[in-house]
Amino acid sequence: MAGDPLDDLYDRPGFMIRRAHQIAVSVFLAQTDDLGITTTQYGILVVLRHRPRIDQITVARLLGLDRSTTGMVIRTLEEGGLVARVVDPADKRRRSLELTQAGSDLLDRLAAPAERAVAQLLAPLDPAERPVFLALLRKLTGAFDATSRVPLAKGEGGPAPSSEAI
Amino acid sequence: MAGDPLDDLYDRPGFMIRRAHQIAVSVFLAQTDDLGITTTQYGILVVLRHRPRIDQITVARLLGLDRSTTGMVIRTLEEGGLVARVVDPADKRRRSLELTQAGSDLLDRLAAPAERAVAQLLAPLDPAERPVFLALLRKLTGAFDATSRVPLAKGEGGPAPSSEAI
DNA sequence: TCATAATAATCAGACGTCTGATGATTTGTC
DNA sequence: GACAAATCATCAGACGTCTGATTATTATGA
C-alpha cells in the first residue's frame, strides 16, 4: 500500500478538488433524491429568489457560470415550470426571469435537504476543522473571482445592495 | 456589498468546491495550453504509466470515475494516438491499455506545466496554510472513498505495490 | 443621423459525467 | 458439462461545461 506511485496523483490539489466536487454533487443528489433537481439548478433558483426579473447573463455572472451553460439550464427549468421567462418590453434583447409558484415551493422544500447535504459533506471533519477548511477554501476561490476565465461578479444586478454601510 | 442574501449561497461548501474545481481545471488548461490535453485525460495517462496493460474498468476505479466516462475519454486518447488498446488474448472481454511513445512523451512534457498549475492554484494561500488546506481536503475526500456512488479504489490492479515495506 | 460599439441570447461543436440497459466473455457451482 | 452469476465493454439518454460564431437589439459617438 505504501509507496504506490499513484499516491503522487492522489495528493494533487486538482485531483482532490475534482473528487470533492464529485462527492458534493453526489451527496446533494442523494439528499434531494425525490425532488429531481441538480446543484446547478438549485443555485439558479436561489439567485432568482433574491434577484427577481434578472436576465440570464447576469445570473451567469453571479454564479460564475458560462452564458451558454446558464441559458441551457434555465431552459430546462422553464420547461419544468419552475421559472418564467418573458421578453423584457423595455429591452427586447433581455428575457426577464422569475420563479414560478412551483419554483418557489420547490426551493422551500429544498432547504432542509440542502442543509443535510452540507452536514453530511463536512461530517468527516472535526467541528473545529470545518471553519478552517471553509475559510481556506474561501480564500483560495475568492482570489480567482476577478481573474479566472469565468469570473464571478458577486453583488451584481441587485437592487443596490444597501449602498449605505450605516 | 454587506448583507447580500446571496452571500449565504457563496459561503456554501458545495458552491465553493464547485468554484474551486472550475478554477483548477481552468488553471491547468491555461498552463498546458499548447499541449491540448484535459485534466481527466492527464489523470488517465498518469495511471497508464504506472499500471501498464491495465483494463479500463480498473482505470475507472483507480480514478473514481464512471466506467462510461472512462471508456469515452480513453477512446479519445486512442484516436489521438496517445494510448494503444488491444484485446487481451487471455480474457477477450478486456482491452489491454498502454501508453504509446507519443503518450509517454506528452506525459513527460506535461510535468512542468502541471507543477506550475499546482503552484498557481495554491498561490493565494500562505505557504503555511497550504499543507493545512490539503490535509483537510484529503481527510474530507478520503472519508468518501468507500461510500460514494463512484468509489475510489486506491492501490488496485497494480503489480502488487511493493508488499514489503522494507 | 447613421455607422459603429456593445450587449443579450442562441447555436454549433467538443468534452466530461452519470445512470441504466445490453451484449460478449469468463467464472463458479452443481 | 451446463446453467447461473459476475465481469468488461459499449450504447442510449440526460445534464453540465466551455469556446467561438451568429443574430437581434440597444447604446455611442462623430
**pLDDT tens readout for residues A5-42:** 898 899 999 999 999 999 999 999 999 987 999 999 99
What is the pLDDT at residue B154? 81
Mean pLDDT of A38-64: 95
φ, ψ of residue A132 in degrees (nearest 5): -65, -50
What cell was used for B63? 480514478
Looking at strand D, which nucleotides approach a protein CB closer than 7 A?
7-13, 15-20, 24-27
Find, among A50, A80, A27, the residue nearest to A157 by Cα.
A50
Report how far residue B107's alpha carbon sits from residue A119's, in angstroms, rounded to the nearest whole number.
39
What is the pLDDT at residue A147? 79
**B34 vs B51, more confident:** B51
Burial B131-152 (b: 16+ CB within 10 A, else e): eebbebbbebbeebeeebebeb
Task: Say if B26 is an interface residue toward chain A (CB within 8 Å).
Answer: yes
Find residue A87's DSSP bridge partners: A95
pTM: 0.90
What is the pLDDT at residue A142? 94
Domains of chain B: residue spans and CATH: 9-155 (1.10.10.10)
The secondary element (H helix, E strand) that includes residue B121 is helix B101-122
Per residue in A105-121, pLDDT (tens digit) is 999 999 999 999 999 99
Using the structure, give the distance in angstroms from the CA atom of A68 to the C1' atom of D23, rounded to a whole number. Answer: 15
Mean pLDDT of B93-110: 95
